[in-house]
């Protein structure tokens, strides 16, 4: 039985990671093909190829390390810019659309997952705790991921905004929380702490929705998907704008490939198929959002440099030198690898400490 559960968890990790990568790269691929840009390879994974098939001029590859992928367009590097059909010789608007298509595909996939899933579900009373930050008031009070907060000081809540409103002016003051954990309802007390940047008191939790099965309603699903995508994007933006004050929370919640894989593994074993679907959508939004950030080597950084190059050529009437841009992308990519290495170390340390 234990072996079957382990296999189920591993399959869950592979499926979710594959969906994250596949739809991101499909976004790049489909838009490039629609714009008639020469594509040389569509690869899922990195390293040695374990499967390859060529259809017309496009090589499809599956590689041994499933933690990424790429779409290789003709002439992506400045050294190959001599070819008139190369990526660097395409109009700016075409390149811009191809670059942004990856993260936007993650957003679209997340929207579709949630719209379909929530067409079969309805919301339960309360709000579910998705994550509890280390050393936060919530952690000290004994709140755990999966708990459903039903009320604050006797007032029923149904959204994160309602929870924030009831807690925001309670810094240093005990608040009574009614918590549902499994089939049991408990009453606990927590003492919110004041956050300087947010200018309000916080519990130190990430929130999700409490859901249950309901009558099929696709309109409800579409509306909910739109609101969910907006809300998660808003949360990420607020978090980044106040990242200095959120550093301790960021350190406690930041996950690399191993940490994300561990979360997916747990979700696969402990949660329903609906919750796994919504978590997959959540991860797609995260991947899409991160890739839209204007940082070198990310899609958002490449899109920003395209805008700069366009303005440079239009304003100064001088040709933009892409080789300098590539140096910055290389530095950005190196910094990302260092960050991934640090986060992976923290992931492994977290796993070892839990045992």
Q: Cβ(105)–Cβ(212) under 8 Å?
A: no
DSSP 215: -
- CA distances to 41, 164, 296 from 329, rounded to whole Å, are 21, 39, 5
C-alpha span between 147 and 151 (Å, rounded): 12
Q: Cβ(200)–Cβ(164) under 8 Å?
A: yes
Residues annotated as part of the active site: 25
Name the region of 317 (left: φ>0; alpha: ψ -120 to 50; beta: rest).
left
Q: Cβ(213)–Cβ(119) under 8 Å?
A: no
The residue length of the chain stands at 355
Treating both helix axes as pointing N-terminal to C-terminal, what angle do 2-34 and 92-118 enclose, rounded to 10 degrees?
140
C-alpha span between 302 and 152 (Å, rounded): 45
Residue where the block lists tokens 């008191």:
201
């Amino acid at each position: 039985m234990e072996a079957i559960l382990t296999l189920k968890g591993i399959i869950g990790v592979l499926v979710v990671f594959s969906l994250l990568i596949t739809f991101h790269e499909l976004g790049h691929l489909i838009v490039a093909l629609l714009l008639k840009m020469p594509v040389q390879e569509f690869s899922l994974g990195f390293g040695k190829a374990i499967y390859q098939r060529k259809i017309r001029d496009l090589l499809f590859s599956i590689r041994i390390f499933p933690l990424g992928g790429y779409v290789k367009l003709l002439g992506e590097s400045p050294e190959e810019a001599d070819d008139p059909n190369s990526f660097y010789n395409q109009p700016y608007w075409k390149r811009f659309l191809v670059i942004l298509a990856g993260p936007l595909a993650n957003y679209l996939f997340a929207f579709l997952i949630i719209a379909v899933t929530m067409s079969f579900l309805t919301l339960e009373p309360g709000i579910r705790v998705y994550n509890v930050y280390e050393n936060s008031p919530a952690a000290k009070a004994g709140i755990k991921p999966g708990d459903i907060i039903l009320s604050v000081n006797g007032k029923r809540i149904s959204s994160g905004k309602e929870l924030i409103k009831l807690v925001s002016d309670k810094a240093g003051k005990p608040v009574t929380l009614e918590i549902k954990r499994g089939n049991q309802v408990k009453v606990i007390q927590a003492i919110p702490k004041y956050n300087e940047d947010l200018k309000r008191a916080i519990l130190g939790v990430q929130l999700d929705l409490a859901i249950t099965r309901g009558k099929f309603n696709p309109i409800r699903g579409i509306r909910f998907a739109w609101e969910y995508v907006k809300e998660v994007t808003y949360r990420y933006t607020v978090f980044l704008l106040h990242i200095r004050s959120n550093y301790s929370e960021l350190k406690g919640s930041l996950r690399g490939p191993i940490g994300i894989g561990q979360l997916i593994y747990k979700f696969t074993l402990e949660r329903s198929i609906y919750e796994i679907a919504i978590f997959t959508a959540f991860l797609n939004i995260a991947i899409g959002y991160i890739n839209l950030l204007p940082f070198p080597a990310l899609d958002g950084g490449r899109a920003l440099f395209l805008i700069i190059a366009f303005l440079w050529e239009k304003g100064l009437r001088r040709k933009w030198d892409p080789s300098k841009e590539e140096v910055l992308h290389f530095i950005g990519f190196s910094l990302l690898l260092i960050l991934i290495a640090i986060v992976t170390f923290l992931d492994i340390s977290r796993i070892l400490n839990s045992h």
